[in-house]
A and B are shown apart, each in its own frame.
Chain A
Amino acid sequence: MWHPRARTIPDPSPPAPPVLRFEFPVSWSYLSATPDDSRPMRPGPVIPAARGRGPNDRWEMVVPPMQRPPSKLPAPPAASPAPPPVFAAPHAPPRVTPVYYGPGVNVTFSFPETRPREPFWASIPPGVKIGGAMGIVLIAVAALFPFGPSQPALAPAPRMEIAPALPAGPADWIEKYSLLPTAPDRTRRVSLIRGSGNLTGFRLELRALIQEKALACAFRVRDPGNFFVMKVLVVRPSADPLVALERFAVIGGRDEPHAQIPLPMQTYLDTPYRVRLEAVGNRFTAWIQDVKVDEWTDSRLPAGGVGISREPGELWRLQGDLKVYPLSKSL
């Protein structure tokens, strides 16, 4: 009996391969993506100057609590946005590094030199010069031929023991440890690393991208109303932004005067910041991008916790982990 299926002969030839189909999309995620360090950081030309100052802008001179040697002073920013204030200078106008911080914010000026000085030797009487030269010769001889048992010239710097980093996972934070109003509608929130309770020495390391205005950490947090804050602050957001290190103490729930130091390196709005802060006793040292930016002393809060501080309008994103290493002097 005939059946049509019986007549079906399988096709011996292989099936035609499907057509290859390739996609070539055009993309521009570079324009909105968060760049990393691979983006070249080249100094740009001077950005057109900012607008003039308004009549309500407040300028204030803040004397830093600690004198830093001239060699440690950060270089002035390449493009200073503000016109230098006028000073009554008898010889030459002082070299001023003005930084504009907007109304109601304190401003720090650094004065490397206010007037030209005559050479040091010219001001010394001849007799003193001769005596000084003899003294130097005597000191040199004494150094070459010591008479007594040798004494170490300098006390060795204290060696610091560094402990493993404190755990800083999501469960290791005390959220909103401090909630302090900084303005009628603004509250500063401080969150603490749980294990950092009463540290006298520590090294804080973090790498972060500032998305809006500033990144801030709090340290030596003794209680919700007494702590120090250090910020990396975008003072002027632009293609060639002005960024400064800002630090201040909060004592009794009130902000002490803010000290601000412009960062000496070129940065951009999308620059991730490597921040390192070391505290040993009353001495604090801050590095940004591995460059020492500031060093100061403050004995008011000898111990306390370490954490982060956030204020409205500030937004930053941590890249990697925030690490706090306890430091202690080795015996």
Chain B
Amino acid sequence: MTHARRSGALQDVNLALALYRQQQWDAAAGRLERLLAHDSTRDDLRIALGDCLLRLHRPRQAAECFARCLGSASQAPALFGQAVACQMLRRFDESEAAYGRFLEWEPRSEEALANLVALSMERLDMDRVQRYAGRLLEIAPDSCAALQGLIVAAASRGDFGQAGIHLQRLLELLPRSQIFRNDPAVPSDRLDRDENGTLLYFMNRAGSERLARTHHSFFEPGAVTGIAARTLARR
């Protein structure tokens, strides 16, 4: 390879990485694919390409991309990327296995454990939710994902006392408006997704009322406000 060609290749790498840093996912992915076609040993570029593909909602190609990483130095990010891609593809068994292997490398990865909580929620496997959320809470006592998972798991097994304790902690961390929804069109337990693809879980009114009765303090300000508003409206 001549000097000019090598310096040209280096410029191409720099440009691709600059586009990647600027979050121009489509342009960066195109350049990274071309670079990897010439040099398939660049795992760092492959990880970046996989990230771009995930952002572009192309998880199938992302999973293939991560699977082709060669060196063990890139094994952890490749495993993590593969786990995320499989989770997006709802291939939960593969995803959980990949997260498991990734956690052998990085046992204190909050992000992987939070994703595992989300994955288990989507499966409605409350035992796993409890396990992963508990592990996450040990590492990150302020993790909202862990607290939410533990609330749902505890409420689903009827342990509203424990759920209330976690809810109280969550209320200290998140604005109330993010936890409660007054929309009466949400009648019961439901899994949903918002426009960003985030998994939403709505606890039904019965469960919410049980929590309210167990721990009046969570609902007190809202309840008082609600009563006052209703009273004013009827006058």
User: What residue of chain A has the Cβ atom nearest to residue B112's Cβ?
Assistant: A30
B126 to chain A, nearest CB (A): 13
Q: A45-B71, A103-B6, A240-B71 are in contact. Are A21 and B43 (CB under 8 A)?
A: no
A69 is an interface residue with CB less than 8 A from chain B = no
Measured CB to CB, the closest approach of chain B to A66, in angstroms, equals 31
Q: Which residues of A contact B37 (CB under 8 A)?
A: none
Q: How far is the CA of A24 from the CA of B144 in the complex (A)?
A: 9
A39 within 8 A of B: yes
Contact of A21 among B80, B105, B196, B201 (CB under 8 A): B201
Q: Identify the stretch in A48-56, A163-171, A216-224, A276-284 within 8 Å (CB) of chain B at 4 or more residues.
A: A48-56
Least distance between A149 CB and chain B CB atoms (Å): 61
**In the complex, B162 has a CB within 8 A of chain A:** no
Of B111, B122, B212, B231, which is within 8 A of A17 by CB? B212
A24 touches B201 (CB 8 A): yes
A218-243 residues with Cβ-Cβ distance < 8 A to B are 237-240
Decide if the interface of chain B is mainly helix, strand, loop or mixed: helix
A94–B194 Cα distance when bound, in Å, is 65
A56 to B6, CA, bound (A): 11
Residue A119 CB within 8 A of the other chain: no
> Given the complex, which residues of B lie within 8 Å of A19, measured CB to CB?
180-183, 186, 202-205, 208
Q: With A and B bound together, what is the CA distance between A176 and B37 in angstroms?
A: 40
| Beta-carbon contacts under 8 Å, B186-203 to A | 186, 194, 196-203
Of the listed stretches A3-11, A110-118, A133-141, chain B binds: A3-11
Shortest A28–chain B CB gap in Å is: 4
The residue from A18, A30, A102, A268 contacting B80, defined by CB atoms under 8 A apart:
A30
Per-position 1/0 for A19-36, Cβ under 8 A of B: 111111111111110000
Say whether A24 contacts B6, CB under 8 Å: no
CA distance A133 to B74 in the complex (A): 58
Complex CA–CA separation, A56 to B1 (angstroms): 8
CA distance in complex: A102, B149 (Å): 53
Give per-residue flags for B113-126: 1 if the beta carbon is below 8 A from chain A beta carbons, else 0. Answer: 01101110110000
| Interface size, B (range) | 35 or more
Decide: A238 and B3 in contact? CB cutoff 8 A: no
Q: Is the beta-carbon distance between B3 and A22 smaller than 8 angstroms? A: no
Contact residue among B14, B48, B73, B227 (Cβ-Cβ distance under 8 Å from A14): B227
**What is the total of A-B residue contacts with beta carbons within 8 Å?**
184
Chain B residue nearest to A79 in the complex (CB): B71
Check: B106 CB closer than 8 A to any chain A CB.
yes
A44 at the interface (CB under 8 A from B): yes
When C-beta atoms are compared, the residue in chain B nearest to A27 turns out to be B111
Checking A10, A39, A212, A269 against B234 with a beta-carbon cut-off of 8 angstroms, the contacting residue is A10
With A15-B227, A40-B105, A238-B41 already in contact, the answer to whether A47 and B197 are too (CB < 8 A) is no
Residues of chain A having any CB pair with chain B under 8 Å: 5, 8, 10-11, 14-32, 38-40, 42, 44-45, 47-48, 50-51, 54, 56, 102-104, 212, 237-240, 268-269, 313
Interface residues of B (CB under 8 A from A): 1-3, 6, 13-14, 17, 20, 41-44, 47-48, 50-51, 54, 69-77, 80-81, 84, 87-88, 105-106, 108-109, 111-112, 114-115, 117-119, 121-122, 145, 148-149, 151-152, 167, 178-183, 186, 194, 196-205, 207-209, 211-212, 219, 222-223, 226-227, 230-231, 234-235
What are 6 inter-chain pairs, A to B, with CB distance below 8 A? A15-B227, A31-B48, A38-B106, A44-B71, A239-B43, A239-B44
